Amino acid sequence: MENKHNMHMADNNARVLEREIAWFSRVMDARFNLHFEAKDVELIDIRDIPAPDLQQGDSVDSEYARVLREHELETDFNARLVLMLAMMPHIRPQVLDPLFTKNSGIGRNFTEFGGWTGKTHGGHLPTCETAAFLLAGNDLAHRFAVMRLFEDDHPLIKAGICRISNRQPDEPFFSAALTVTSEYLNRFTTGHFHKPDFSSDFPAKRIVSKLNWSDLVLHPEVMDEIDNIGVWLKHTGALMQDWGLERSVKPGYRCLFHGPPGTGKTLTATLIGAAAGVDVYRIDLSMIVSKYIGETEKNMASVFDQAQNKNWILFFDEADALFGKRTQAGNSNDRHANQEISYLLQRVEDFPGLVILATNLKANIDDAFARRFQASIYFPMPDAVQRLRLWQGLFPDSRRLAADVDLARLADEHELSGGALTNVARYAAIRAIREKRDTITQADLIQGIGRELVKEGRML
């Protein structure tokens, strides 16, 4: 049944887009005729070619029409043409082939057609210059008006439908690449709501867990702080508007989770997202930090730009690698590192959603970040009572434990984090299977505890 629904949706989307492609092709032909002053051209303005009606027939239920309605772009000729231009390399690339026409006077492509060259794609890849040509031709006033389409607060950009990228310093703004984001391309074509995948362009991964709050053992003080975060996520609109906080409080919420490894920082972030019904993305700092000047800021911008208008939680694990203390600017490297931190601070502060930074040692985080956190939550090592709850949660089926296992004694005698206890349980289960036993013994658990203590530089 679901497959049939998906096929019907894809077929419907295809019919709607076929009409949009036909309209786009007519507009592009008209622009060429006007630009090259073709004979017998009665058309004066490309806007005299009406865009397809999206309020009738199968158009109404298409994702394409639904998104345009949501952002009040249905009747916006310019925005629809730009969106179709961005989509064309993906859905009908040959439509853009006329833009390869060469200027016989100089033996190369027409500058006003714009475009950029891909590594493997042989078709025309549009730039903002391409959009300006189609919409404005040589009309300078119209060209200036086109710039409005690429500003950060325009619905196409603000909603993350289209992206302006590959901007080069000291080069014209219109030379930037114009692309449709994969999320909206999938919605307009297959109808699937795409979650971004980890890549060099998006160095973050969505994290989920099969565990729930009952599996997380935290101090009451910590849970109280977590509840505050949950209330903010649920009632942001009311707090900012109805309570009038938007006049004095910046959007967004920034938290610092600090404490020893394995005390539940990552799981807590994941469960906060699950409770609020929003996605949590863990930022891969190894893909963010670069030794080359400007690259770290560029990589960070890629994450924040894509997350800006999504209801996401951004989670920076081991955040001191990126948000560490600034140093005295003794040389150019120090100055560059301090500039990076200042840039990151600004992006975190301007992000309208929830940002969580996690570190094992709070002292490693730059003070400028710490002052701007709405919450600084310490995750301590669990006490004996909490460790017993953790042990019991790891072995819900008590039949897997031999008669000599004394979890209360283990909890009382060995101070370990929840993460370390999980490692012990895994090791003990493996040891039991290797020895062809159906149960875990006290000796298995003791040996596993010894291994964890060695890793931490301690002894049994």
pTM: 0.71
**Of 90-104, 108-122, 181-195, 413-427, which range is least confident?**
181-195
User: How does DSSP assign 331-380, residue by residue?
Assistant: SHHHHHHHHHHHHHHHHHHH-SSEEEEEES-GGGB-HHHHHH-SEEEE-P
pLDDT surpasses 60 at 346: yes
Spatial distance between the Cα atoms of 46 and 32, rounded to a whole number of angstroms: 10
pLDDT for 2: 47
Tokens describing residue 249: 């409080």
What are the pLDDT digits (tens) for 170-218? 889 999 999 998 889 989 998 876 666 656 567 788 899 999 998 899 9
Q: Report whether 183 contacts 160 (CB < 8 A).
A: yes
* Reduced 3-state DSSP string for 334-347: HHHHHHHHHHHHHH
Q: Is the pLDDT of residue 344 over 70?
A: yes
pLDDT digits (tens, 9 = 90+) for 112-136: 999 998 889 999 999 999 999 999 9
User: Which of 256, 289, 255 shows the shortest CA–CA distance to 364?
Assistant: 256
Asked if residue 7 has pLDDT above 80, the reply is no
Q: What percent of the chain has pLDDT over 70?
A: 90
Q: Which has the higher per-residue pLDDT, 258 or 169?
A: 258
* Cα 447 from Cα 426, distance rounded (Å): 12
Higher local confidence (pLDDT), 316 or 424? 424
> What percent of the chain lies above the pLDDT cut of 90?
57
Q: Domain 384-455 maps to which CATH number in 1.10.3720.10, 1.10.8.60, 3.40.50.300, 3.40.50.150?
A: 1.10.8.60
Cα torsion angle, 108, 109, 112, 116, sign: negative
Domain ranges of the chain: 2-189, 204-378, 384-455
- For residue 414, pLDDT over 80 is answered with yes
Answer whether 270's CB lies under 8 Å from 280's CB.
yes
- Between residues 425 and 295, the one the model is more confident about: 425
Section 390-401 average pLDDT = 92
Check the CA dihedral 397-271-281-310 and report its sign.
positive
Q: How far is C-alpha 347 from the chain's CA centre?
A: 14
Alpha helices in 92-181 (DSSP H): 128-136, 140-146, 155-158
What distance in Å separates the CA atoms of residue 434 and residue 200, rounded to the nearest whole number? Answer: 40
Distance CA 311, CA 278 (A): 6
Highest mean pLDDT among 191-195, 235-239, 277-281: 277-281
Please give the CATH number for the structural domain made up of 204-378. 3.40.50.300
Average pLDDT over residues 1-10: 61
Pairing of strands 102-103, 108-109: antiparallel
